[in-house]
């Protein structure tokens, strides 16, 4: 098994690579194209973008330039807060597809929950799936209570919830809830935006494994059955992040990784985004 054939089966029957490539904050055109090329050459098949990132058009261009067969790709995009609501969601997704130069995405996510358009946006997602504009539908940054609330009106539940997960923000209760309800957890910022690389516990474990701290963290995610979308613009790190299939962590080492949790977020609190209807200053 390697990065290109390590697949998870979603609750709707579709398959998704467990490891993909995130493009958050990659906005330089040349840098973007080079990063996608390096990721593809190193076996990445899932590419994750969002309306908020303002680079969907770059991803569409990169895929077109590389002449990658659409069937070999797994594309994800996310609907921003500003584009939520039934009609606005449908219109914005069609605009995203034009930028991505594709007829459909493999996974469509609501980027953040907001109270004003909570159910109408999901209703639009269910319609977009029926129309074939996305194969699977999910959410991002939903807490347990948001998922429980959504279940009161949804005809089908999200198959993925993309949330912040890292050794410093392990989210064990939410992970268990999602596993119990057949919702795959996909971690954004799986490396904690690099702020945890100097943690002494993880540095010691990485040294013992003769691996980088990043590789040990990503391996911890894989063994926790969490999907991951690490990002980098450096070809050597893109390759390094993909080279995590030839070693494993013991049960004891997994517990060591669990021990560093601080319940510390690097981004917003989902409930406050839900209340404000946008990503508040942080």
| CB-CB contact of 81 with 278 (8 Å) | yes
Query: b/e per residue, 63-79, with b = 16+ CB within 10 A?
Result: beeeeeeeeebbbbbbb
Catalytic residue flag (residue 168): no
Count of CB atoms situated within 10 Å of the CB of 43: 19
Q: What value does the CA radius of gyration of the chain take, rounded to a whole number of Å?
A: 18
Please check if 181 is assigned to a binding site.
no
d(CA 107, CA 74): 8
Q: Quote the Cα angle for 148-153-154, to 5°.
A: 85
Residues 139 and 183: their CA atoms lie apart, in Å, by 10
Sequence-distant (≥ 6) Cβ neighbours of residue 40 within 8 angstroms: 66, 68
Catalytic residue among 53, 142, 168, 274: 53
Active site residues: 53
Binding residues for substrate: 111
């Amino acid at each position: 098994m390697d990065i290109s054939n390590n697949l998870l089966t979603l609750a709707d029957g579709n398959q998704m690579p467990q490891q993909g490539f995130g493009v958050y904050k990659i906005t330089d055109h040349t840098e973007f194209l080079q990063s996608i090329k390096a990721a593809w050459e190193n076996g990445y098949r899932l590419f994750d973008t969002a309306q908020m990132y303002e680079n969907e058009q770059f991803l569409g261009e990169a895929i077109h330039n590389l002449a990658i067969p659409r069937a070999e790709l797994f594309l994800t995009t996310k609907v921003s807060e500003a584009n939520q609501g039934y009609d606005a969601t449908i219109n914005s997704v069609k605009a995203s597809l034009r930028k991505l130069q594709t007829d459909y995405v493999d996974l469509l996510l609501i980027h953040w929950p907001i109270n004003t358009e909570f159910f109408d946006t999901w209703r639009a997602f269910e319609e977009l799936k029926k129309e074939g504009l996305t194969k699977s539908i999910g959410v991002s940054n939903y807490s347990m209570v948001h998922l429980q609330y959504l279940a009161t009106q949804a005809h089908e539940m999200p198959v993925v919830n993309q949330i912040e997960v890292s050794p410093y923000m392990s989210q064990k209760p939410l992970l268990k809830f999602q596993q119990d309800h057949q919702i795959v957890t996909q971690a954004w910022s799986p490396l904690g935006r690099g702020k945890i690389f100097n943690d002494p516990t993880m540095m010691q474990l990485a040294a013992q494994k003769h691996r980088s701290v990043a590789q040990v963290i990503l391996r911890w995610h894989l063994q926790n059955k969490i999907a991951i979308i690490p990002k980098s613009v450096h070809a050597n790190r893109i390759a390094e992040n993909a080279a995590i299939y030839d070693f494993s962590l013991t049960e004891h080492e997994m517990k060591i990784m669990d021990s560093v949790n601080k319940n510390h977020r690097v981004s917003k609190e989902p409930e406050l985004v839900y209340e404000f209807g946008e990503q508040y200053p942080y």
